[in-house]
Chains A and B, each alone.
Chain A
């Protein structure tokens, strides 16, 4: 919402500059998003009149203009513009002036001197939206009869500043500049000027106003103007509109726009003679009804859209846009002005559905008081007379089926202070209400407050509290700390777990990433998953297709980030993410599950101390370390074969308590290929749901007797896995093996095909006594025998 300072200052008697006003409005909760001085885009540009025109002897496209700028001698200016003619009033940038694009110097054009420049609207910094089509082409034509030599800043009233207000939805009243002036008065002892209006009597007959949908239209006011003279508004009036970003069109349209910016009430003007049947009917459209709006476009309406009809046809889309069939044009003789209160939700739906959003529909959408409809009409009528635009009829027409309810709110000083934690005196509070023009009655300890009609946002006591503290000043609120009882809400373990996991993994040397929760459904296929995105997790209105599904997996996001870093020549990539993945359900909400994903790139490098690289076991080691740091879980790994995401020979399910809680492995080369990663990568995903608060650890007594270490090397079938070997060792050891370390695994022709040699170091210990060599040997031999019998092992 743009507010011109010149416009605003009409309404009070004091003087304030732009920065003072900005401070006041900010303190009152009207955010000033921008403040712009309008007289900075050009200087030293004056009104001139073209006295004569002549073709440049040496250039086809140039013309020599002799310009009268109110001095004794005309200025010779060469122009390339084609829209100039003798007698035209033009903006003349004098030598030494500044326009958009630079400074104007005396120059020679094809041999002839030029003492200045004729300007286009753009060169004067005028926004294209403020220019008519005619004004956009070439030199900006000025109104005839302007004082020659007059500074254009004065002509256009550009010694002005414009504040751009970011209004919150509750303060829709401030879409009227007059209401902004009321805010200024709250902080300054200025007198607010009454608006001059032209009141009328309520007509008995002449036009019947019928409202068929009272919910959608609470009030409709109309008034007729006779003998209208459609012409451009006077410059001072047009300038005010232009300064708030509205293009002046003609006196009648300008008056409706002026009142809308002044009071917030949008208005509409019908060509009275195009209305038929002596009626105005407010009604909803028929489904599929076709209606041509005044921009000439035919629109297909839906049945909840609100229309204005005359006795015969539809004539306007209520609050959104007028109809082509009742448009005011240069031949219009009589006008019917409309000032109505339409339902905000209805207007919002209609303007949204038709893609027609305007200053007017925006104001209706935010809500208006019923009260303002008639005031706005009276104000418009005054302006019609002021501008001499026509004859205002004495009486007005109205239907007002749903009267505005202005509540009387009961409040106490004690309550206001209790909420604020302050001690504002009763008189001060009453004084604030008075400044706000709220009526106050004192009844015992209660204050009965009736807000001003335009403040439809003030409905309950808490709204009054806000008004009091807003006017009293947020800067005057003390800062205290709450005193109260002890909080007993327990923190969920999940919350602690997330923090712990992030800390451990960062300690292990990994970097945390944060990726988007929505992904491209195509990325599932790229990652080798067999599903393609659950439709129940599809975003109805995504910003783009590649952000349209809520993720079911972390890998697509993680590998994308790995790939992006890889493409930046990064090779040391060890990243993780802890975040939620989603699962479609038949319940209202999808499941949200916390997951961890870790990606490691192989990154084989020669360091000064030797070669290093990551592999499956590096990642598995990280997992085992993490799981032992955060839980008492025992993990089991089972080889996976049917996955297209991970390498079929180098991947495993992570199992705890017989439940699969994740997967780990080398990423399938096809998947890495999809992401242009040309070396091995490793990935693990871990479901965190099963990680519950671990039981407090209980101490077990330390062994009193020494342990004995024995080595064992056996030759075993090549495909026999360690878990099975260890299983046999552990079962045949009579619980005397307390440690088992593999120190060598060897395959090669020396020992034969399809076999491998595995060497263990076993640690024997009896908790009850010191073991003798014989005792150890007995068990050791037993282990060997069992390996031979059960697994086909032979000793090396």
Chain B
């Protein structure tokens, strides 16, 4: 081939490359085809390096070709330059392409050798849990803070005065029977409900309005079996303002129940009695287990009792300094254990206080 080129240039007349370029191109085409197939045949990086040297090395084909650049006329130079450039880049591109693909394959192989077992468990991954009672408490607090209630807290050890008398339960009132009370002394009790917070907060706020609070906390009663614990948790709600109605109470409770248990659930209010509210209502939620067809969970009634509520009794407002003719309010108290048991399907209250980690980790 070199021979043919040499001959071609020897015969080439000055300034005539333009018309003869196809001859040169044809000569080079053969060479190019040979080169390409040689490159394609190269199986290793080393083989490709040899081919590279053969064409582009100091003693390679291209430097040979470049020599003719000095020998042609100025007019022919750019024509020859372009022909050589085309020839060169075709081979060079092919060569690089092949080299890169070898490189990639090599990298790929290296990474594949570093494969790990992605199904092994993560390291140091201890997962913590809040107590289910906390989860329910936080959920209920959120429902009420979203509609403008403030979370407040009361005392767990409370004066008889606030736990009973301020709630319209004087000494010797039969309603004291409803709650068996733990006493520290004659005047101090373990609060039997979160309701004393009502009196405490109204004392603090009066005469300001509105009073909108939600008060979670521990309460204590002398009872211990599978449905009662001597310590349990309640959330008290209280709203006092002008023009608060019994219908408002129903609306708020409906909102509460739907938020906790789901939009499809219904509530039922039943007349009841608490000394510190009147009218009073026990509130039932429709049984979600049987869709009110009757089952063991709801005692075949279709309803589950969840909270007590009512309109704040005029005497309770009065004792706090509010005029019951100007101001009204509602209050409710709900057992957090009861809600947790219904919501999570827990059948024994004692599980909530046993603190078995196998139980706690389910929440």
Contacts and interface: CB of A to CB of B under 8 A. Distances in A.
Interface of A: 26-29, 31, 168-172, 344-345, 348, 365-367, 418-422, 460, 462-463, 465-466, 469-470, 474-475, 477-492, 494-495, 499, 502-503, 505-518, 536-543, 547, 550, 561, 564-565, 568, 570, 572-575, 579-580, 582, 588-590, 592, 607-609, 612
Interface residues on B, range: 35 or more
Interface string B207-227: 011111100001010101000
27 contacts: A344-B174, A348-B172, A420-B246, A462-B313, A469-B271, A469-B279, A475-B268, A479-B254, A480-B250, A482-B241, A484-B242, A484-B244, A487-B210, A495-B151, A505-B128, A506-B129, A509-B128, A515-B353, A516-B230, A539-B183, A540-B185, A542-B182, A564-B354, A564-B355, A570-B357, A588-B188, A589-B157
Contact of B250 (A172, A345, A479, A580): A479
B118 interface: no
Interface in B96-155: 120-121, 123-131, 133-134, 138, 145, 148-153, 155
A419 B246 contact: yes
Interface in B248-294: 248, 250-252, 254-255, 268-273, 275, 278-282
B134 to A, nearest CB: 6
B178 interface: yes
A481 B239 CA distance: 12
A511 B360 contact: yes
A550 B148 contact: no
B355 A513 contact: yes
A489 B126 contact: no
Given A462-B313, A568-B356, A29 B158 contact: no
Contacts of A582: 156-157
B14 interface: no
Interface of B: 120-121, 123-131, 133-134, 138, 145, 148-153, 155-159, 172-175, 177-178, 182-185, 187-188, 190, 201, 205, 208-213, 218, 220, 222, 224, 230-231, 239, 241-248, 250-252, 254-255, 268-273, 275, 278-282, 311, 313-314, 328, 352-358, 360-361
Contact of B124 (A466, A590, A612): A612
A31 B272 contact: yes
Contacts of A420: 245-247, 279
A474 B271 contact: yes
Nearest to A474: B269
A465 B177 CA distance: 25
Contact of B190 (A348, A503, A539, A565): A539
A513 B131 contact: yes
A562 B269 CA distance: 43
Contacts of B205: 489
B152 A495 contact: yes
Contacts of B230: 516, 518, 543, 547
A550 B269 contact: no
A29 to B, nearest CB: 3
Contacts of A367: 174
A623 to B, nearest CB: 15
Contacts of B151: 491, 495
Contacts of B357: 511, 565, 570, 572-573, 575
Contacts of A570: 357-358
Nearest to B221: A543
Contacts of B244: 482, 484
A465 B121 CA distance: 65
B272 A509 contact: no
Contacts of B125: 509
Nearest to A579: B218
Contact of A484 (B188, B243, B352): B243
A21 to B, nearest CB: 15
A506 B128 contact: yes
Contact of B314 (A29, A460, A543): A460
Contacts of B282: 31
B210 A517 contact: no
Contacts of B174: 169, 172, 344, 348, 365-367
A514 B148 contact: no
Closest 3 pairs (CB-CB, A-B): A421-B245, A29-B271, A421-B247
B278 A466 contact: yes
A511 B153 contact: no
B224 A489 contact: no
Contacts of A418: 243, 245, 328
Contact of B184 (A31, A482, A537): A537
A590 B189 CA distance: 11
Given A474-B268, A481-B252, A589-B188, 19 more contacts: A170-B273, A419-B246, A466-B278, A478-B250, A480-B251, A482-B252, A485-B209, A492-B153, A495-B152, A495-B153, A509-B125, A511-B128, A512-B129, A515-B353, A517-B220, A550-B184, A561-B355, A588-B187, A590-B157
A31 B149 CA distance: 32
A582 to B, nearest CB: 7
Nearest to A483: B243
B300 to A, nearest CB: 11
A608 B130 contact: no
Contacts of B150: 487, 489-491
Nearest to B175: A169
A517 B177 CA distance: 23
Contacts of A574: 126, 128
Contacts of B123: 607, 609
A280 B222 CA distance: 41
A67 B277 CA distance: 63
Contacts of A538: 184
B271 A28 contact: yes
Nearest to A499: B138
Among B158, B175, B272, B275: residue with most chain A CB under 10 A:
B272
A372 B229 CA distance: 40
Given A366-B174, A543-B222, A517 B156 contact: yes
Nearest to B271: A29
B231 A516 contact: yes
Contacts of B245: 418-422, 480, 482
